[in-house]
Structures are given as C-alpha cells and as structure tokens.
C-alpha cells in the first residue's frame, strides 16, 4: 500500500461517512452534486479578507481597522485580488449563490461585516502572524502525508507556536474541541513537524460569536490524536485496496445525512432520513405538508 495524503476536512468526512468521502474524491460526481452555498461563499470571502488584512505587503499595520477589513471583504466578494481560475470561480459562485437577488446578497454581506466588526473589537489587530493561509504538510510514516492550509500560525513570546483557525459557524466548547475535532490536531502535528518547534496553543476564533476557544495541546493529547489520524489513514488505505463494490467505502447513515449533497446517490442515507422522520412523527421526504399559515 502506498499510503495516503489527506487533509483534516477529508479525514473528518471519512470518519463521519466513508461513502461521502469517496464521492468527494470523484471529480465528476463532486462537480455535479456539490453546489456552492451561501455559508461557504461567505466563509471563503471572510478568510480571504483576514489573510490580506494580516499580510503586511497588502495592509500596513497602522491601517488595520474595521473599515479596511470591510473593503478587503468587498474585494474578496467581487473576486478582486484573486487571479486566474480562483477569480473566475469566485464570481461564478457568487452568481450561483445569489443570482439577481440583491437583497439576500446585501443581508449576507451585512452579516459578514458584523462578524469582522466583532473580530476587530476582540482581537489584536497589530499582530504579525508567522504564516497566514499557507499549505503545510508533514510525513506521518507508513507512506502517509498529513497536509493542511492553516489559517494562521503565530509565534509566541517564548518562541513556541500557536495555530489558529477561523470559523464562521457555531462555536464548540474546549471539551468538544479536544475530544472530537481533528482539524486543530492535524494543524498542530503538521506545524510542529514542519517547523520543529513546540505547539503551545491551539485555538478556534468563532467570528459569528466574537469568541475564541483554545487550549494547550499536551503531549498525551497529541499522541492520541496522531494515533487516531493514522488509524483513519490506514483504513482509507485498506479500502482503496479493495475491488469496486458495496464493501468499498460503505455509507454510515447519521444525522448529517439531511445536509449531504449526495443524497440522490445514497439510498441508505435516504432510508435513514425516512426512518428518523417517521420516528419523530414528521412527514418523510417527498410527502406533502400544508404551509404553516
């Protein structure tokens, strides 16, 4: 077996449902069924704006304020500062998500501006990150390579590093992050090996709530997470070696099925949703329901 090169989101997808992971790897299936959403579009624009905000070749430290950050958001929204394929993709996603609905687009933009206002109110705008939005990777042994685009790495006063990820969704507790999240663990492992410097803090900045949730990644936690990550990679490797058929990347029906783009291709997921709807006394998918007015 050759080993696996994987990113945190792909590993989390595989952990939740191997079939969705397999569909995501097929470019033709992904192109047909995965569609841009307002949440993903806004998240991408916010990430770009924050990247440019902390890039001193684009924004001087003394010019960092909410107005500057909002202008960078507008640039990202319209595909400015992006080049080639990325610019064209951003503009196409904007058309697909909003079309001619300027009112919905304006409301989404106001929510994004409010998130960035909260960021400016609660974060150190004079910080000079070690890296921002850079792809890093590190070998894990067995031919496996762990990779990720890390939103931000900061160098701390004691010369250790802190990994930071921006989120536009609902926040989690420290306990949930330590127990369930793979993203920060992957970033801590990759950054630690890439720069050969201890990682002394992992944190998520939840922009919608202007809230930072973080913790110190002790060696025992990092060791356990690395074992979990390598276990997932080994499992992917084994499934890749199987012949095509139902035993290869089987589905794992779960509560996320309702948000899965691949429901038309997954009878097990649709059956799961129908059973859950019947158990809750709600109409199953396809049943008619009178409007609530």
Over pLDDT 90: what percentage of the chain? 87
- What is the rounded distance in angstroms from the CA atom of residue 186 to the CA atom of residue 190? 6
For residues 155 and 59, what is the distance between their CA atoms, to the nearest angstrom? 20
CATH 3.90.320.10 domain span(s) along the chain: 131-240
Three-state DSSP class for residue 292: coil
- DSSP letter at 40? H
Residue 293 has pLDDT above 70, yes or no: no
CA distance 215 to 233: 25
| Per-residue 3-state assignment (H helix, E strand, C coil) for 257-279 | HHHCCCHHHCHHHHHHHHHHHHH
Structure tokens at 130: 């070690």
Angle at 8 between CA 225 and CA 86, to 5 degrees: 160
Q: Measured between alpha carbons, how far is 161 from 107 in angstroms, rounded to an integer?
A: 37
For the chain, how big is the Rg over CA atoms in Å?
A: 21
With CA atoms as reference, report the closest residue to 197 among 169, 226, 253, 156. 156
Give the model confidence (pLDDT) of 82-98 as tens digits: 999 999 999 999 999 99
- Condensed to tens digits (0 to 9), the pLDDT of residues 138-161 reads 998 888 999 999 999 999 999 999
User: CB neighbours of 160 closer than 8 A, spacing ≥ 6?
Assistant: 197, 198, 199, 200, 201
What pLDDT digit, counting tens, does each position of 225-272 carry?
999 999 999 999 999 999 988 889 999 999 999 999 999 999 999 999
Read off the pLDDT of residues 121-132 as tens digits, 9 standing for 90 and up: 999 999 999 999
Element (H or E) spanning 205, and its range?
A: strand 199-206
284, pLDDT greater than 60:
no
CB-CB contact of 204 with 177 (8 Å):
yes
Please give the CATH topology (third level) of the domain spanning 131-240: Lambda Exonuclease; Chain A (3.90.320)
Q: Are 132 and 149 in contact (CB under 8 A)?
A: no
Using CA atoms, how far residue 197 sits from 3, 153, 162, 270, in Å, is 26, 12, 10, 47
What are the phi and psi torsion angles at 143 (to 5°)? 85, -5
pLDDT at 79 over 90: yes
Question: H or E segment at 201?
Answer: strand 199-206
The pTM assigned to this predicted structure is 0.88
């Amino acid at each position: 077996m050759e080993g696996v090169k994987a990113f945190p989101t792909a590993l989390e997808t595989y952990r939740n449902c191997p079939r969705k992971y397999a569909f995501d790897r097929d470019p033709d299936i992904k192109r047909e069924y995965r569609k841009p959403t307002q949440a993903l579009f806004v998240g991408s624009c916010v990430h770009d704006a924050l990247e440019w905000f902390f890039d001193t070749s684009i924004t001087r430290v003394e010019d960092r304020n909410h107005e500057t950050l909002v202008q960078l958001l507008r640039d990202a929204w319209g595909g400015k500062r992006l080049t080639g394929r990325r610019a064209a993709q951003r503009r196409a996603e904007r058309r697909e998500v909003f079309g001619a609905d300027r009112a919905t687009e304006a409301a989404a933009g106001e929510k994004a501006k409010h998130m960035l206002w909260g960021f400016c109110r609660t974060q150190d705008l004079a910080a000079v990150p070690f890296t921002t939005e850079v792809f890093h990777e590190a070998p894990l042994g067995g031919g496996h390579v762990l990779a990720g685009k890390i939103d931000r790495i900061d160098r701390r006063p004691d010369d250790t590093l802190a990994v930071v990820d921006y989120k536009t969704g609902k926040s989690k507790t420290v306990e949930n992050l330590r127990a369930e999240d793979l993203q920060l663990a992957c970033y801590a492992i990759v950054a630690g090996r890439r720069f050969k410097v201890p990682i002394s803090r992992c944190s998520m900045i939840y922009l919608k709530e202007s809230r930072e949730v973080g913790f110190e990644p002790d060696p025992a936690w990092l060791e356990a997470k690395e074992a979990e990550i390598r276990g997932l990679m080994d499992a992917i490797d084994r499934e890749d070696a199987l012949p095509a058929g139902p035993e290869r990347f089987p589905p794992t029906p779960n509560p996320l099925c309702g948000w899965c783009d691949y429901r038309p291709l997954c009878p097990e997921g649709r059956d799961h949703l129908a059973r859950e709807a019947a158990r809750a006394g709600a109409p199953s998918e396809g049943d008619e329901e009178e409007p609530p007015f």
